Amino acid sequence: MSEKPLFLHDPNDEASPGTTLPAVRDPGVAGDADGAAGQGLRAPRVARSERRVLAVLFADVCNSTALYATLGDTLAKTAIDECFERMLLLLAKFEGRLVKTIGDEVLCVFPTVDQAVLAASEMQVVVAERRFGGQPIQLHIGLHYGPALVSVNDVYGDTVNVAGYLTAVAAADQIVASEAAAVQLSAALKSCVRPVYRAVLKGSGRETTVYQVVWSRSEGELTEASFEFDRRLPPDMGALLLEFGEDVLEVKAERPLVRIGRSPKCDLVVDATKVSRQHLTIQLRRTHFYLVDQSINGTWVTTEGGDECHLLRAEMMVSGAGVISLGCTQAAAPERRILFRHDRRSAFRLSDAKAEVLPFPTPRR
């Protein structure tokens, strides 16, 4: 990533093999040659954003919290970086590119679904075959195919959000793909996928099939998927917005945990004597949000319907909209009310501020 931009489009270049649609320049957007020139590169006429059809893949480390607890921060980070390094060495083989890393997750793009599926399968194999920092690491991978908005070093849009959502619903050691991706597979690879779920994907509004990529040679380990009952996955309800006075926090895949309490170390500080130092956390787990009370006096949650419940050293799933009150009912201290509601945008959308480039100048082979 540090040597050249991810997408450096020149209208005179031939289209990449397997790209379904050519890159088209967004009307009214000026070129951005300064960035390339600043890197000592010959700067072609580059659109700041272009629409391309790509296979988008997320690969996430499962239960990284336990790995950090076992190894400590430094050794766990080293182990995950080594794991990513092994995975990313495969990208060139399948014409893939690393877009960025987000915490313990990598985002990659490929010209075709075949290349993405083969790369994902090899990623699972190389990670399953070894230990990192003396510990086993498991991945869950999601991929989608469709139009995405690409800039010099990033990629955005519903295709990226859906790939992130599919990663969240994938189990450990699993690769899941959208129907849009599965139908693009070659005849040889279509035999390696099977339908497992139904889902309404963000941006589509219609129910579609979600497929599992069978990458393991141990076919006898597969669970039989029955469609005799409802197998719809929980939808992407959007990020959860928390409003306290003028402060607004967003809980989503990039920021899956928010701490609320009296301590200035909390993400949202509520300064009152009945509020514990770390009163509660709100967490995104897969596709749902959970409020976990850790306080002395408890937390009151009022839903849209007006029902109010008291939570003490317990947790509950939070959805829709409502009010959270720390240490007492909201009627007793209305100034301490925290409002919550869902943002209509995806909980799995990414912001450029979280981009982190992994430099591997001398990769171990």
Rounded Cα–Cα distance for residues 117 and 163 (Å): 13
Cα–Cα distance, 177 to 231 (Å, whole number): 16
Both tokens assigned to 182:
């599965």
Q: What is the pLDDT of residue 221?
A: 64
Residues of the chain with CATH 2.60.200.20: 240-342
- CATH 3.30.70.1230 positions along the chain are 46-234
- Between CA 140 and CA 120 the distance in angstroms is 10
**Eight-state DSSP code of residue 222:** P
Pairwise CA distance, residues 188 & 191, whole Å: 6
| CA-wise closest residue to 165 among 238, 106, 217 | 238
pLDDT in tens, 267-285: 999 999 999 999 999 999 8
Distance between CA atoms of 27 and 59, rounded to whole angstroms? 33
Indicate the CATH number of 46-234 among 3.30.70.1230, 3.40.50.300, 3.40.50.1820, 2.30.30.140.
3.30.70.1230
**What single letter denotes the amino acid at residue 117?**
V
- 3-state class (DSSP) for residue 29: coil
Write the pLDDT tens digit of every residue in 226-261: 555 666 788 888 899 999 999 999 999 889 999 999
> What is the three-class DSSP state of 313?
coil
Please name the residue that has the structure tokens 């970086």.
81
Partnered with residue 195 across adjacent β-strands are: 211
Question: Does residue 43 carry a pLDDT above 50?
Answer: no
Q: Which fold has domain 240-342?
A: Tumour Suppressor Smad4 (2.60.200)
- DSSP, collapsed to helix, strand or coil, labels residue 15 as coil
The pTM for the full model equals 0.73
Residue 46 — very low, low, confident or very high, per pLDDT cuts 50/70/90?
Answer: very low
Would you give the DSSP letter of residue 206? S
Residue 142's pLDDT band, with cuts at 50, 70 and 90, is very high
